[in-house]
Amino acid sequence: MQLEGVLKEVFKKIDTIEQRGALAAYIPELAKVDPKQFGVHISTVDQKHFGMGDYNTPFSIQSIAKVLSLIFAYRIVGDDMWKRVGVEPSGTPFNSLVQLEADRGIPRNPFLNAGALVVADILLSHLEHPKDDFIRFVQSMSDNTSIDYSERIAQSEKAVGYRNVALCNFIKSFGQIKNEPEAVLDFYYALCSLEMNCKDLSETFLFLANNGIVVKNNRTILSEAQSKRINALMQTCGFYDESGEFAFKVGLPGKSGVGGGIIAVHPDQYAIAVWSPTLNKKGNSYKGMKFLEEFTTRSELSIF
């Protein structure tokens, strides 16, 4: 497989570059991760799979979970979703409060912390057992029942989540959060604590490369139109105020998390997950960004 050869070459090259950046030390548990770990795994729509490095090592996916919670809520409420949260890039950091005042508590997009809190609120309003229902949804998409939340990481994030508390209460003051902030925040921290490995991620997100349909069993997760919209949001908003840079250098829809993971999707081709815990100044994996730029350049496969 040609992609396998390119992946091997690029992995070996990026594995040797100087390790720059820093761990997400503001979340105490993430500060304990071995910064030298590096893994990548690709899953293709023709059901080929290949990984290198630490691709089987679970890590905290953090904001990558925002895509999964958005998909779950989108399945439930459909286009009513966009009455509660926007679809525009923010140009601001992921935990910024700046635009909420002018936008009357409606987050600019669902991948900002503010937007993910609103999505969590929507799920709380529609699910009888939100945490259980959501984890079963993720497990079913990945075909892996061992995927779970990390209570240790959730509590670590909660202990320092002062800005998220401010965001949630500020949005609540505009009437855009319907449930009690404490319940919304508890669910949000659980979502962000999800632990998956690169193999789990690439297999879980592969349906977005297949018009919303799970390759293994032909189960429809989203309609083709809905799948297109999720990919569009990842393309324009998946990397916060570095989203334009990612589109410019990599050219794929994707989503990052401060645990050092990145998932990227090439429609009709593949889903690829990269993990390296040290982050650049924008909060995205330093080696992960370098790897994907080199990978799409060498493979000559991007959406542009």
Using only C-alpha atoms, what is the Rg of the chain? 18
Average pLDDT over residues 11-26: 93
> 2-61+195-299 and 63-192: same fold?
yes
Of 67, 258, 265, 274, the catalytic one is 258
> For residue 21, what pLDDT is reported?
92
Distance CA 153, CA 46 (A): 35
Distance CA 178, CA 26 (A): 29
Q: Report the amino acid identity of residue 125.
A: S
Of 63, 69, 90, 156, the catalytic one is 63
> For residue 52, what pLDDT is reported?
98
Tell me the residue ranges of DSSP E strands in 73-201: 195-196
Is the domain 63-192 a CATH 3.40.710.10 member?
A: yes
pLDDT in tens, 82-92: 999 999 998 77
> For residue 90, what pLDDT is reported?
83
Of 240, 250, 276, 299, the catalytic one is 240
pLDDT in tens, 41-62: 999 999 999 999 999 999 999 9
Q: What are the C-alpha distances in Å from 273 to residues 185, 220, 262?
A: 27, 22, 6
**CATH number of the structural domain 2-61+195-299:** 3.40.710.10
- Closest C-alpha to 87, from 101, 107, 72: 107
Phi, psi of 256 (to 5 degrees): -110, 165
Asked if the model's pLDDT at residue 257 lies above 60, the reply is yes
Would you place residue 98 in the very low, low, confident or very high pLDDT band (cuts 50, 70, 90)? Answer: confident
Q: Are the beta carbons of 258 and 31 closer than 8 angstroms?
A: no
Tokens 């570095």 label which residue? 242
pLDDT in tens, 135-158: 999 999 999 999 999 999 999 999
Of 149, 188, 270, 286, the catalytic one is 188
Helix (H) or strand (E) holding 41: strand 39-44
Residue 258 appears among annotated catalytic residues: yes
Asked if the model's pLDDT at residue 298 lies above 90, the reply is yes
pLDDT in tens, 30-40: 999 999 999 99
Q: What is the pTM for the complete model shown?
A: 0.95
- Concatenated DSSP letters for 232-247? HHHHHHTTGGGHHHHH
Residue 188 appears among annotated catalytic residues: yes
The domain spans of the chain are 2-61+195-299, 63-192
Tokens at 189, concatenated: 């921290």
Distance CA 151, CA 155 (A): 6
Residue 240 appears among annotated catalytic residues: yes
Nearby residues of 132 by Cβ (< 8 Å), 6 or more positions away: none
Phi, psi of 264 (to 5 degrees): -135, 150
Of 66, 172, 282, 287, the catalytic one is 66
Asked if the model's pLDDT at residue 120 lies above 80, the reply is yes
Q: Report the amino acid identity of residue 104.
A: R
